[in-house]
Amino acid sequence: MRGSGHLRAKICGITDKPALAAAIKGDAAYIGFVFFGKSPRNIDTTAAAVLSTEVPAGICKVALTVDIGDAALDSILSSVGIDMLQLHGSETPARVSQIKTRTGLPVMKAIGLSGEFDLRAISDYASVADQLLIDAKAPTGATIPGGNGIAFDWRLIAGRRWPVPWMLAGGLTSKNVAEAARLTGARQVDVSSGVECAPGVKSPERITEFLAACRNEVPAL
C-alpha cells in the first residue's frame, strides 16, 4: 500500500501532467480530480480521463463533487476511471448512502469545522461514509466549500477518533503538516491550495516538498 509507514497524502485538484507526475513520484496515496465548475481546479471529464489512465495501480483516484445530481455523476463515472467519490457539499447522510448504493463506490464525506458545535455532524456521517475528510469550514461568502487555504483550530479534534478512516485538510503546507498530524493524530492528510503557486495552478516543486514532509512523519499508532 502506497504511503504505508508514514503520513498518507492526497493531492487534490490535479489538472495537468507535471503536477500528476510529481504526485506519483512523491508517493501520494490519493489523486483528486475536482468536478465543480466554480472551483479554479475544475477539470472536464475529457482531460480527467486522460490523466486518470496515467495513475498507477495502488493510487486511489478520487472524484470531488459538490451536491451533484445523479445524471452529472453518471457522466463523470462513465468517462473517468474513479476509485472513490468525495462529497464536499451539503449532502445529507441519506444522500451519502444513496450515492454509495447507486454507484457501488466508496464515499468520503467532507465536513467543515469552525467550532465545537460542528463536531456533532461527524458522528452522523461516520455511520454511512467509508471515510471522512475533516476540513476547515469555508468562510462566509466563499464560492467554494474547500481549497480556501485556511486551517481550523486543530485542538478541536486532538485525541478524537472515529469508526472509519479520516483525513485532515485545511491550510496544510509542507511547513505545518507534521505539526498538524502530531497535534490531531491524523494518519492521512489532504492538500490543494498549499501546493499551488496561484489559485488552481499546482506547483510540482511544492507537491514534492509536501510529500517529502509526509514521508518523514510516522503517525502515532
Dist CA 59 CA 10 (whole Å) = 9
Higher pLDDT, 152 or 219: 152
Name the pairing type of β-strands 131-136 and 166-168. parallel
Other C-beta atoms lying within 10 Å of the C-beta of residue 161: 7
Among candidates 1, 3, 39, 22, which has minimal Cα distance to 138?
39
**Predicted local distance difference test score (pLDDT) of residue 218:** 63
Q: On the CB side of 2, how many CA atoms lie within 13 Å of its CA? A: 19
Q: Which of 55-59, 63-67, 126-130, 145-149 has the lowest mean pLDDT?
A: 145-149
Domains of the chain (ranges, CATH numbers): 8-215 (3.20.20.70)
State the pTM of this model.
0.91
Average pLDDT, the chain: 91
DSSP secondary structure string for all residues of 74-97: HHHHHHS--SEEEE-SS--HHHHH
**Predicted local distance difference test score (pLDDT) of residue 2:** 62
Q: Which pLDDT band, with edges at 50, 70 and 90, does 3 fall under?
A: low
Where is 98: in which H helix or E strand?
Answer: helix 93-103
Among candidates 140, 135, 77, which has minimal Cα distance to 108?
135
Q: Which residue has the cell 505539526?
A: 179
Name the pairing type of β-strands 60-65 and 107-113. unpaired
Q: Write out pLDDT tens, residues 166-180.
A: 999 999 999 999 999
Q: Write out pLDDT tens, residues 81-94.
A: 999 999 999 999 99
**Predicted local distance difference test score (pLDDT) of residue 38:** 93
